[in-house]
Amino acid sequence: MEILKAIPLIFFISKTWLQLVPKEKIIYVRMSSGSKVSVDEGVDPEGSSSSLTSVKVHRLKGIKDGQYSNPVFKKLSVINGEINRMPREELIAKLGELKLDSRGVTDVLKKRLKTYYREKKLTKAHVPTPKKSLPEFLMVIDFEATCEENNDNYDHEIIEFPVILVCLESKQVVDEFHSYCKPRINPQLSEFCVQLTGITQDKVDSAEEFPKVLRRMEDWMKSHELGAKNKFAVLTDGPWDMSRFMYHQCRQNKITYPRWGGKWINLRKAYSNFYQCRRTKLNDMLENLGMTFEGHLHSGLDDSRNIARIAIRLAEDGCELKVNEYLHYDRNENAFKSKHITPDSPKGSTSEEELNQSMDGLHLTNDGAANETEEVDDLLEYYRIQRS
């Protein structure tokens, strides 16, 4: 029975050593009385009276021998442990001493301080860091669409098209695009929609329809040489702007879904992965970073500006903002298809590089699929939100 109880611990130890041992190295896991577990590397304790289990571990592909053998990593481990034990007051004092931003919840402050020391120590130790293909600019988008209260089957149309252009090198907003769009299916805005978004009937009546606005926006992209000279990525607060609103709007207008919108950065995923916290909403992300919402909530332009502030804060804290969601591309029909990913969805046969280039396959994420129930509930709440 003691041996059976220790089996989960055996697998945990073997997994922990997976990235540290050379290829084909044998780890002997020794279970003595009392279910105490010890590990012997490369030594076959044959003939021992203790109960033994051997685990053959293959080195992960792509991890070089001795990659983390530099003593600086041991120092960083010690520093991280000290930071984890720091009370909030001490974290704030240390960040202030280093002239770093001391706003945010405790977990954010710890991550900020760890990133600072990691960059400093690796640079001082001349440890090379791999060059990664990251965007130079972010196009932050947050659409507003027609809606009715308590009507989940409503045919939504985009009525506000804002884009905030962020330079990741300077970590500043460099330009904005903004336009309202005239809806065709439901040209009269509901009272709920007006109160929620702040968009009045006269604003959409005098606006151009979506196809013309999209063309003007793409001309604006060309003026900044986005996709030509300058590498960029779309960033949104959740998956819905591109996979639902943009996708269905293009279908309604019978126009081709733009290739630049086939992949994007889901800010909620990037935020939760970097700060190691649960996925949360825009206002909560701002509050956790020690910021407050600026402007009118559910104004597309103001929402986009605040999303951009969070993205800049993430970049300043050392987060590598990279694409984490894709839209399925059907080669047979030469068109994008809106599909939601579940944990059981097939990954396809294309490599990540091919996926980035051709959009061929389902949109995949490094951290696994999104929680479907959570995202659906959030979307429904978007249309049921209480007036504030």
Annotated catalytic sites, by residue? Answer: 144, 298
Sign of CA dihedral 204, 208, 210, 213: negative
Using CA atoms, how far apart are residues 252 and 298, in angstroms rounded to an integer? 23
Q: Which two tokens stand for residue 305?
A: 């500006």
For the four alpha carbons of 310, 316, 319 and 324, in that order, the dihedral sign comes to positive
Whose CA is closest to 304, among 171, 137, 176, 170?
176
Residue 143 · residue 160 · CB < 8 Å: yes
CB 107 within 8 A of CB 289: no
Taking the C-alpha atoms of residue 213 and residue 170, their distance in angstroms, rounded to an integer, is 29
CB-based contact 144:158 (threshold 8 Å): yes
219: alpha, beta or left, given left = phi > 0 and alpha = psi -120 to 50? alpha
Q: Which two tokens stand for residue 380?
A: 């429904």
Q: Which residue has the tokens 């104004």?
A: 299
- Tell which residue, 172, 268, 265, 165, has the closest CA to residue 222: 165
Q: Which residues of 21-52 are buried (b: 16+ CB within 10 A; e: fewer)?
A: beeeeebbbebeeeeeeeeeeeeeeeeeeeee
Q: Rounded CA gap, 74 and 69, in Å?
A: 9
DSSP assignment of 360-380: -S----TT----HHHHHHHHH
CA within 13 Å, CB half, 272: 20
3-state secondary structure of 174: strand
What count of other Cβ atoms lies within 10 Å of the Cβ of residue 299?
A: 19
